[in-house]
Amino acid sequence: MALANHFYQNLAGSYLFSEIAKRVNKYSAENPDKKIIRLGIGDVTKPLPPSVIAALHKAVDEQATAEGFRGYGPEQGYDFLRETIVNDCFAQFGFEKDEIFVSDGAKSDIGNFQELFDISCKVAITDPVYPVYADSNVMAGRAAAQKDGLFQGIIYLSCTSENNFVPELPKERPDIIYLCYPNNPTGTVLTKEQLKIWVDYARANESIILFDSAYEAFIRTPGIPHSIYEIEGAKECAVEFRSYSKIAGFTGLRCGYVVIPRNLSLKTKNGGSAALRDLWLRRQTTKYNGTPYVVQRAAQAVHGEQGKKEVKELIDAYLLNAKHIREGFANMGLTVYGGVDAPYVWLKLPINDSWKFFDELLNQVNIVGTPGQGFGLCGEGYFRLTAFGSYENTLEAVERLKKFKF
Ligand SMILES: *Cc1c(COP(=O)(O)O)cnc(C)c1O
């Protein structure tokens, strides 16, 4: 037999969502009459906005004509979409369309991007965290198996109520720093001043920040940065990942993009340097054959006047759910974080056992959430609820909370 990539053996089991499913299935088998409300899901539930659907139909019809048919497209994405993205979001920071790379979503981009770095590079992630950042580096051999819940060799940046979920600068210098704001799972954001501390640190230490802004469109508080490039100097140290998934319902359609400043470089072994943009282009032209034309037309519609209006309504509806969830748990006397500029509400529990809270919530009021422990050691004692359910279910869940005793 051929030998398996042994770095994969260093991954921790994907225990969280299978364990949740196991407990929920057991409960519903024993209580078939009970209606379970799921506030644990990380997927959107509302249909695609009408202008996206119209763009899809039009692009599909084009495929039926000899003139309109498109085969392989440019690996980096069609000009029409990259121009639209730049004009709408990034021209204000001086970007041009050759610094934008369209993809099938932020998860693949973020998972793949670590390939551009040497195996010796040190990685820093927040704790709790979206698991892709750590796992993709473990698969590449950049970190070893977990000891006491921590991958060895990864620099963890604790985010708890004690530091108000603002990560402190690390003692040891990382080469790569993953930041995600608005944050999944905590739903918290960073101010410009707080983000600037990281940009300044990365510039001074020649680290690269990989900034995940998948939830930027949920920001409603004025002054909170939507893009890391709002911070002076970020073009010298940061790459930004964006996705249409959560903002416009593209979780099934699949489209995202990455912004790579032209002047951002890594050093090479022979003492030279390599532009990050060129390395990514090489990677994508070798391993990726482009996002479907019809999907890129759909993404373009999100940036249109009507598309923007529809997307705002979509997000407003999720944020209204978040507000009800926040208030429901706050009325129980729990401290709640997030849910204002993000679709996630992060509860601080009165006990340091998020699985016990999970069981109580399920058994007493038939509501499913996600134990914070599943997102990292610092997530223990916290609990994540998502605003992606329907309005009716969310209201019913909040009503049920009035009977919940903890
Ligand atoms: C959902 C999510 C993404 C988006 O992934 P896609 O592959 O674009 O669907 C990226 N980052 C975070 C933190 C997410 O929660």
Give the position, in ligand 1's atom list, of the atom nearest the Cα of 180.
13
Which segment of 13-17, 296-300, 367-371 scores lowest on mean pLDDT? 13-17
Tell me where in the chain the CATH 3.40.640.10 domain(s) lie. Answer: 52-304
Q: If you take atom 4 of ligand 1, which residue's CA is the nearest one?
A: 106
pLDDT value for 67: 96
Which among 130, 213, 250, 255 is the best mutation to test ligand 1's pocket, defined by most ligand atoms within 8 Å of the CB? 130
Q: Is pLDDT at 84 greater than 80 in this prediction?
A: yes
Give the position, in ligand 1's atom list, of the atom nearest the Cα of 184.
13
- What is the CA(104)–ligand 1 centre distance, in A? 11
- What is the CA(257)–ligand 1 centre distance, in A? 11
Mean pLDDT over 95-110 rounds to 98
Quote the pTM value.
0.97
104-158 pLDDT, tens digit per residue, is 999 999 999 999 999 999 999 999 999 999 999 999 999 999 999 999 999 999 9
Give the position, in ligand 1's atom list, of the atom nearest the Cα of 130.
13
Q: If you take atom 11 of ligand 1, which residue's CA is the nearest one?
A: 214
pLDDT value for 13: 80
204-246 pLDDT, tens digit per residue, is 999 999 999 999 999 999 999 999 999 999 999 999 999 999 9
Q: Going by DSSP bridges, is the β-strand pair 273-275/265-267 parallel, antiparallel, or unpaired?
A: antiparallel
- What is the CA(309)–ligand 1 centre distance, in A? 22
Residues 296, 56: Cα–Cα separation, whole Å: 9
- % of the chain residues with pLDDT over 90: 97
Give the position, in ligand 1's atom list, of the atom nearest the Cα of 256.
8
Mean pLDDT over 259-277 rounds to 97
Mean pLDDT over 376-388 rounds to 97
Give the position, in ligand 1's atom list, of the atom nearest the Cα of 250.
9
Residues 65, 74: Cα–Cα separation, whole Å: 20
Give the number of other CB atoms < 10 A from CB of residue 66: 5
Topology annotation, domain 14-43+307-401: Aspartate Aminotransferase, domain 1 (3.90.1150)
User: Between vectors from CA 124 to CA 174 and to CA 223, what angle results, nearest 5°?
Assistant: 105
22-56 pLDDT, tens digit per residue, is 999 999 999 999 999 999 978 999 999 999 999 99
Q: If you take atom 14 of ligand 1, which residue's CA is the nearest one?
A: 214
- What is the CA(2)–ligand 1 centre distance, in A? 33
Decide: helix, strand or coil at residue 30: helix
Cα 269 from chain centroid? Answer: 32
pLDDT value for 324: 98
Residues 368, 365: Cα–Cα separation, whole Å: 9
Ligand 1 is surrounded, with C-beta below 6 A, by: 105-107, 130, 180, 184, 212, 214, 243, 245-246, 251, 256
Task: Name the DSSP class of 49.
Answer: P
Topology annotation, domain 52-304: Aspartate Aminotransferase; domain 2 (3.40.640)
Q: Return the bridge partners of 123, or none.
A: 154, 176
- What is the CA(319)–ligand 1 centre distance, in A? 18
pLDDT value for 15: 78
Q: What is the chain's mean pLDDT, rounded?
A: 97
Tell me where in the chain the CATH 3.90.1150.10 domain(s) lie. Answer: 14-43+307-401
